[in-house]
Amino acid sequence: MSVITLTTDMGNSGYYVASLKAALIKGLTGASIVDITHTIRPFHVSSAAFVLKNVYNQFPNGTIHIVAVDALNSPNTKVLLIKTENQFFIGPDNGLFSLVFSAPPTESYEITIAPDPSSLAFTAKDIMAKTAMHIAKGGNISEIGSPYKNYVLLTAWQPIYNDATIRTSVVYVDEYGNCIFNLERNLFEQVRRGRTFSIDVKRNAIEQITNTYNDVGGGELVAIFTGSGLLEVAINRGNISELLGLKEGDSVLISFE
């Protein structure tokens, strides 16, 4: 049985997601379709990349991931099929995949399936779903695509640092308003070298990393490292994004004594 995941910015209202699922169910009887999320902010490829990066390797080998973000009305954007780590990824060539993988993918292809002339704007259904069905049925990739190496590269997840400071940016805001940054624990400890520090969050200082939110009182600022090893800043039992106006793309400065 094929496993197909869906990550989109189509939302949970309207008919887009249902139409995409209907095409997959009709073409692949018995397929297991898993909704990762449909609430990515429209066109926010970095948010989609963050979510996918943190979950795809929990799926079994052979899983097919459809990533339809910034793709609904982009009939002229190339659609890619990437095969790596025993899984398949289908999505637009908008830089998203360059943020998902730490190392270059094993194989990448430009999909050459002709879209349905009556539905040119629904790339996810007319090209991505057809690609997923072809792969799930054991079809040869060369029948639907050609090798493609020069996909769009983004560098949104690179903190700036020197011996005394690290400037790190918000790459994702979760449902609770917690803000996750592009700073991994190893780099933080490498620059820190055991020194005390201060994280300046909109003129509010955090001077310790804790293990859980509840290591501080309700309403207090807290900094932790997530299970994926990235810095997260939050307010215990509060919404830091709303209360301090912290949003994706904003940066904070960490200073070391």
Query: What does the block give as tokens for 101?
Result: 């993988």
Q: How far is CA 163 from CA 187, 189, 191, 200, in A?
A: 11, 12, 6, 17
Q: Give the CA angle between residues 158, 222, 178 to the nearest 5°.
A: 60
What topology is assigned to 160-256 in CATH? Answer: Elongation Factor Tu (Ef-tu); domain 3 (2.40.30)
Q: Is 127 helix (H, G, I), strand (E, B) or coil?
A: helix
- Please determine, for residue 73, whether its predicted confidence score (pLDDT) is greater than 60: no
Instruction: Please tell me the predicted confidence (pLDDT) of residue 228.
Output: 82
Instruction: Please tell me the predicted confidence (pLDDT) of residue 118.
Output: 65
What H or E segment, with its residue span, contains residue 33? strand 32-37
Chain centroid, CA 153 distance in Å: 14
Instruction: Please tell me the predicted confidence (pLDDT) of residue 153.
Output: 79
- HSE-CB for 191 with a 13 A CA cutoff: 20
Instruction: Specify whether domain 3-147 bears CATH 3.40.50.10790.
Output: yes
- Please determine, for residue 251, whether its predicted confidence score (pLDDT) is greater than 60: yes
Q: Which positions ≥6 away from 103 have C-beta within 8 Å?
A: none
The structure tokens 């949003």 sit at 247
What are the pLDDT digits (tens) for 134-189? Answer: 999 999 999 999 999 888 877 656 899 999 999 999 999 999 999 999 999 999 99
Average pLDDT over residues 211-218: 94
Average pLDDT over residues 4-25: 94
Domain ranges of the chain: 3-147, 160-256
Chain centroid, CA 63 distance in Å: 17
Average pLDDT over residues 58-66: 97
Instruction: Please tell me the predicted confidence (pLDDT) of residue 151.
Output: 83
Phi, psi of 167 (to 5 degrees): -105, 120
Q: How far is CA 122 from CA 19, 34, 137, in A?
A: 10, 20, 22
Q: Whole-angstrom Cα distance, residue 173 to residue 121?
A: 29
- Please determine, for residue 75, whether its predicted confidence score (pLDDT) is greater than 60: no
Identify whether the C-beta of residue 256 lies closer than 8 Å to the C-beta of residue 192.
yes
